[in-house]
Amino acid sequence: MADPAGPGLLARARSVVAWCRLPARVRREIRQDRLGPDRQDPGIELAVGEAMRWLARAQDRSASADGGVARDYSLIDGWSPSYPETTGYIIPTCFAFARLADDPSYHTRARRMADWLVSIQLPDGAFQGGRIDQVPVRPVTFNTGQILFGLVAATTCAGPEYRESMRRAADWLTGTQDADGAWRRFPTPFARPGEKTYETHVAWALMEAERVEPGRGYGDAALANVRWALSRQQANGWFADCCLSDPARPLTHTIGYALRGVVEAYRLSRDDVFLAAARRTADGLVGVVRPDGMLSGRLNPDWSPAVSWSCLTGQVQIAHSLLMLHQWTGDPRYLDTGRRANRFVRRTVSLTGAEGTRGGIKGSFPVDGAYGRFQYLNWAAKFFVDANLLEAQYRDGG
């Protein structure tokens, strides 16, 4: 028999119960976010400095206390264990900040991260998926690629003792690549099965390895993957199979991964095919960033917004690629949109308060959005720093 209350009333009742079960501070954060970013733009220097200090605390407070960076700070559960994948690409950000800020403590932190990653590398050169406490331990293409960024940076910034680990990871990636350039054999267990065009971000890692170890085929393998991904790009720049969970409405985070890989393919090869492809995607994105800089966290195939919340990680990733494209094309739309997207995220950053939230970047805005709900993500902070440092470089005439 159907419930006389009806499904709508039941859904609302469940929603009220779920709301009441949330801690009071979480409810306050949600209410505040739903009003929109209420802070003044703190500027690049202050926001980046606080985000880097948040990353330092994420390393120090990791629940696994191993030298890696905690995956997130949850408003409900606190600091999580370390996340190998994102610790990998946080390493180059720490090395860069150490140089720019003349703060050797971040160089030391980056080395601690790299040493930990070397210690957990699998015998075949790959790295596991998931957090460090994930079982069973499985080699995953995407995670190995993201950790490769850190091994390349450690090799160039810290010393040759990381070179062998870097080679083993890069060799595993090229050795497990299919003939058409895609990676299919070692997918992540945390995403919907199937091919992933956002693995151009793995290709970018191989491009970085090519710069350090030319002649080992890393660059060719990387460009082959990007060419494969372009076979899945639509005329309007939208990529098929470009999401963790919902390829019909991809996250801006995974769109940001895919776009950056294409941008980097152009930087490596200077082949105009890659520049034209990157511009197709960038043009679609420029059209849906709001005047205040907010970008919907998921997008439909016609680039229309699919959700009301923002994936802040995706915003800053896309901002970074737009700023790079402006450098090469001079198109003012890319500069303006990149700056607006960065500014929106800066206005969500708290410069005061508890250590788990001060300087952190939320998964979603509002914080109860469906990506990283109630969490401050380490990779969001990393990409935030990178995008804002590039914006500062443009501002300062670099």
DSSP string, 193-256: SS--GGGHHHHHHHHHHHHHSTTSSHHHHHHHHHHHHHTTB-TTSPBSS--SS-TTS-BHHHHH
pLDDT for 264-306, tens place per residue? 999 999 999 999 999 999 999 999 999 999 999 999 999 999 9
Residue 1: band (very low, low, confident or very high) from pLDDT cuts 50, 70, 90: very low
pLDDT for 56-70, tens place per residue? 999 999 999 999 999
Mean pLDDT of the chain: 95
Burial class for 398, CB neighbours closer than 10 Å (0-12, 13-18, 19+): exposed
* Spatial contact of 254 and 244, defined as CB atoms under 8 Å apart: yes
Q: What is the pLDDT of residue 78?
A: 97
Q: What is the pLDDT of residue 7?
A: 58
Q: What is the pLDDT of residue 2?
A: 45
Across 316-327, average pLDDT: 98
Residue 323 has pLDDT above 60, yes or no: yes
DSSP 80: P
Q: What is the pLDDT of residue 192?
A: 87
39-395 is a CATH 1.50.10.10 domain: yes
pLDDT for 65-95, tens place per residue? 999 999 999 999 999 999 999 999 999 999 9
Q: What is the pLDDT of residue 14?
A: 79
| DSSP bridge pairs for 139 | 128
Q: What is the pLDDT of residue 6?
A: 54
pLDDT for 131-146, tens place per residue? 999 999 999 999 999 9
Percent of the chain whose predicted confidence (pLDDT) is above 70: 97
Residue 99: band (very low, low, confident or very high) from pLDDT cuts 50, 70, 90: very high
Across 181-202, average pLDDT: 94
pLDDT for 15-44, tens place per residue? 777 777 888 888 998 998 888 887 799 999
pLDDT for 358-394, tens place per residue? 999 999 999 999 999 999 999 999 999 999 999 999 8
pTM (2 d.p.): 0.95
Residue 11: band (very low, low, confident or very high) from pLDDT cuts 50, 70, 90: confident
CA 175, chain centre distance (Å): 25
Percent of the chain whose predicted confidence (pLDDT) is above 90: 88
* Spatial contact of 262 and 230, defined as CB atoms under 8 Å apart: yes
Residue 234 has pLDDT above 60, yes or no: yes
